[in-house]
Amino acid sequence: MTTHATNPGAVHVAAASLNQTVGAWTENRERIKQAITEARDRGARLLLLPEMCIPGYSLGDRLPRKGTLERSWDSLQDLLPHTHGMVVCLGLPLAHNGVLFNAMAVCADGKIGGLVAKENLATGDVEYESRWYSPWRHGVVEQFVAPDGSTHPLGSQIFEAPGIGRFAIEICEDGWKGIRPGSTFALNGCEILLNPSASWFHIGKHATRRRLVEQVSKEDHVAYLYTSLLGCDATRIVFDGSVLIASDGKMLQEGKRFVFEHSIEMVDQVLDLQALRQARREEGSWREQAHRAANGEFGKNPKINTLTGNFGTGVPVPADPPYWEVSPEPPADASLEWLHLNGHCGPITHSDVPHLELELAIAIGLRDYTSKCGIKNIALALSGGRDSAMVAVLVQRMHHYSNPSADPETLQSIVHKGFLCAYMATENSGTETALAAKELAEEIGARFEQFGIQDAVNTHVRLIEKVAKRPLSWEDPVDDLALQNVQARLRGSLIWMLANLDQALLLSTSNKSEAAVGYTTMDGDTSGGLSPIADIPKSLVSLWLEWARDFHGVDALHHVTKMEPTAELRPKENEQTDEGDLMPFFILDQLLYEFVQKAHDPLDIFKALWPTLQDHYKGDPKAFSKDIHRFVRLFCHAQWKRERFAISFRITAFDLDPKTGFRFPAVQSPFREELADLEAYLETLS
């Protein structure tokens, strides 16, 4: 198992805003020391502090005074011993070759590792930096001679620190320009961008600032740390103390603004650099630009400045919140009119938005697919379970949105004419699922057929027993699978026949979780020409049904949501459930996200998820490891099934469609060595 000391997957970083006062040298240093101590106590190894945090930003004509420059440098020297075991970035003015620069000092393990100067000066409105400072020329690195005679590299450079990896700095205004120095740094291997600012407040600016940080982190595939000053450090302008940490377009941490009760506001985060690297490897346009940058097409490549020390923490990357539980950011004006759709929906709240977006996306996909292909009717095998219930309600919602002027009675008539559902029972089917299917079909207005298929199942079993020259038994694992699948395949055959008679498009009911591990019968529940919820994980299926039950008032869904998910393919005494056959879906869906979207190997998955799942496994890491083994094996072996699935819609951030989404080999070694790494790690725990 290979480790990379200078390029870890997990890096613990922090950013802090400070309420500094111009020229308050001792007090400013003490706040900086407190911030360093707090960041160290939190476990951070890289700390970003604001622009000009040592002397204060609003120096005015105090700036060019010899005393200001010397005291700023002396304060930096006083702070250096406090950076032991960390990288700390501090803002101060520098005089170089008789010219003043707005700069950041990168302090690493008690030493100055290098200096960076601002390239784009903020001048205009209340800003007047060009009165005092000169802009640094991008791509240039020179030797700075300090007031104490020491020399340090000053200019455009990328820093590489053991345990952190590559990071670089763009100062305040640098991040607001169309041609940003940070993009050059990112294309040359920088994975963490730092933006120390003294960003003054006006109403509405923070929303813009926040969007900028998210957008830059997404465009450059970087982790982006942003911090600003807090309070009023001199006169007129006020700093709201914005502190943000984003990664690849996602806001991870955000500090409080306008803090009165203390003078330091800090956020910290363990960053997942492996996820960033994976995103860069997957995106062709990124790779092409990086290659062009390496060949010098975008100008001189920045210098790589390697720092000494070891700043790794050994902290694993924490797991993301379950990806199907989306918490949308409210629009700036807190308005949701954009989603009202001319009265299609009743009053909604921000918590409704993700479910409505899912519903609207699938509804418009169904509407356009059927109308543009000239399809008039839809057919569905309605089992009374969650997946088919979700598909059925979405078909009804599609008709609802497509006929905005229809009253409830007219809408029922439209649905009845174009939507056929069938419940096909065997001796293993339950009365609860039959009732759920019947009542749901009636409530949404669909035509509904209910009939038994046990005689057909028995005929098939008798024929095969003659061929096999032995009776089939539920006790034999080989027979068990065959006896389950024959029921599902007969349902598939019969619903196809009904669809053909109705000249209807048959919808498949496969969900993303079960497709991932192959918990589906080919030519059975996978039957269909279109699979509307193939990109919806089972955990989200359940959440959406509960939401739709209450939001749309679909009373029949109470029957569906109160039952445990089950295929009803084994005899009733076997008490079959989907999670009993597999594992809890909230675990399976997190494993799927870590394995596919984040491209984590089994050991990384364990380290990420174990802290939040250990209570579920009663502290037994081997039990969790067993589920990881099972998931990886099933996922790899199920690729051949995914190759044959019906057309589906992309709804979440990643899908398993091998034609347009996740392209995975059907023939491969199922991660045996990677799973062995996990087992070796578990031995170290014991």
What is d(CA 100, CA 569) in angstroms, rounded to the nearest whole number?
Answer: 78
Look at residue 3 in the predicted model and tell me its pLDDT. 43
**CB 350, CB 328: distance < 8 Å:** yes
Q: Indicate the fold that domain 352-570 takes in CATH.
A: Rossmann fold (3.40.50)
Alpha helices per DSSP H over 552-615: 557-561, 578-581, 585-592, 602-613
Pair of tokens at residue 595:
């394995």
**CB 151, CB 145: distance < 8 Å:** yes
CA distances (Å), origin 149, targets 13, 107, 144, 213 = 32, 17, 9, 38
Q: Any residues with CB less than 8 A from the CB of 381 and at least 6 apart, and which?
A: 388, 421, 422, 423, 424, 491, 492, 495, 509, 525, 527
How many whole angstroms from its chain centre is CA 74? Answer: 44
What is d(CA 386, CA 603) in angstroms, rounded to the nearest whole number?
Answer: 33
Q: Any residues with CB less than 8 A from the CB of 443 and at least 6 apart, and which?
A: 554, 555, 556
**CB 114, CB 305: distance < 8 Å:** yes
**CB 401, CB 362: distance < 8 Å:** no
- Residue 290 has what DSSP assignment? H
Domain 12-306 top-level CATH class: alpha beta
Look at residue 346 in the predicted model and tell me its pLDDT. 62
CA angle, 257 then 262 then 267, to 5° = 55
Q: pTM for this structure? A: 0.85
Domain 583-686 top-level CATH class: alpha beta
Q: Any residues with CB less than 8 A from the CB of 305 and at least 6 apart, and which?
A: 106, 113, 114, 153, 157, 158, 159, 160
Residue 239: strand, helix, or coil:
strand
What is d(CA 493, CA 431) in angstroms, rounded to the nearest whole number?
Answer: 23
What is d(CA 290, CA 5) in angstroms, rounded to the nearest whole number?
Answer: 23
Alpha helices per DSSP H over 384-447: 386-402, 408-418, 431-444
Q: Any residues with CB less than 8 A from the CB of 626 and at least 6 apart, and which?
A: none
Look at residue 202 in the predicted model and tell me its pLDDT. 85
**CB 590, CB 611: distance < 8 Å:** no
Tell me the domain boundaries of the chain.
12-306, 352-570, 583-686
From first CA to last CA, the distance across the chain in angstroms is 19
Residue 330: strand, helix, or coil:
coil
Q: Is the dihedral of CA 648, 650, 656, 660 positive or negative?
A: positive
Chunk the chain into consecutive blocks of 10 residues (it has 686) and report each block's average pLDDT, rounded to whole numbers. Answer: 55 96 95 98 97 95 94 97 97 97 98 97 85 94 95 96 96 91 94 96 89 96 96 85 95 92 95 90 90 86 92 82 73 49 62 88 94 96 97 97 92 97 96 97 98 97 96 94 95 97 97 96 94 96 96 96 91 88 96 93 94 96 98 97 94 89 91 96 91
CA angle, 406 then 411 then 416, to 5° = 155
Domains 12-306 and 583-686 agree in fold: no
